[in-house]
Structure 1
């Protein structure tokens, strides 16, 4: 059996190393990587939209990590008013470190509140 791991770096490489160590031939190929923005476009306008949102959808732990990094560097906090929804329990647990309110994640095709 051969496995192609398409997770972003560095998690993808870590998984490939584990699989190869236990004798499962694996390769890593990522379609995208997460990095801090170097764009000259002002993030302040985008952050404003974060604060006026009704719902915030979180798709990955990396998006939480980099958003939190930006907020901390600019002495800002996660908005309290919007409802937060995450894709996956792992992302929900990771987000819970930074957002001190109830939010939702999908579990087995239904929405669950995380307290």
Structure 2
């Protein structure tokens, strides 16, 4: 039996490599990867929607990283009035470094407030 690692590159490749090193056969196949946008429909054209949102759902640390990079480079901040929901505890704590407010994340099939 082999483990299929679907985590995005490069962390997914690293995980598969480490698993193989300790004798756990694994493959890496990323369903998606993250890169700074080169699309004409970039965050710069969607920034007003970010600030008009009532809820923002965060799925990954990479999306936080690139959004924060854009905001920082343009002297902007994460909207404070928004309710943030993170998928996963580590993503929630990563986001908390940037927004400095309460946020929610799913843990063991229940919603938990993080302070």
Asked whether the two chains share a fold, i.e. TM above 0.5, the reply is yes
Aligned positions of 1:83-98 closer than 5 A: 83-98=83-98
SS of the residue corresponding to residue 57 of structure 2 reads strand
Give the count of matched residue pairs: 115
Structure 1 residue ranges (4+ consecutive) displaced by more than 3 angstroms after TM superposition:
none
Question: How far is 1:42 from its partner?
Answer: 4.9
**Alignment match, 1:106:** 106
Q: Deviations over 1:85-111 (max 9, x none)?
A: 011101001001101111111111111
Partner of 1:53: 53
1:64 counterpart residue number: 64
For 2:7 and 2:108, locate their aligned partners in 1 and report how far apart those are by CA, in whole Å: 22
**2:44 counterpart SS class:** helix
Q: Taking structure 1 as the reference length, what is the TM-score of the superposition?
A: 0.95
Structure 1 spans left out of the alignment, 5+ residues: none
In the alignment, the residues of structure 1 paired with residue 43 and residue 63 of structure 2 have an alpha-carbon distance, to the nearest angstrom, of 15
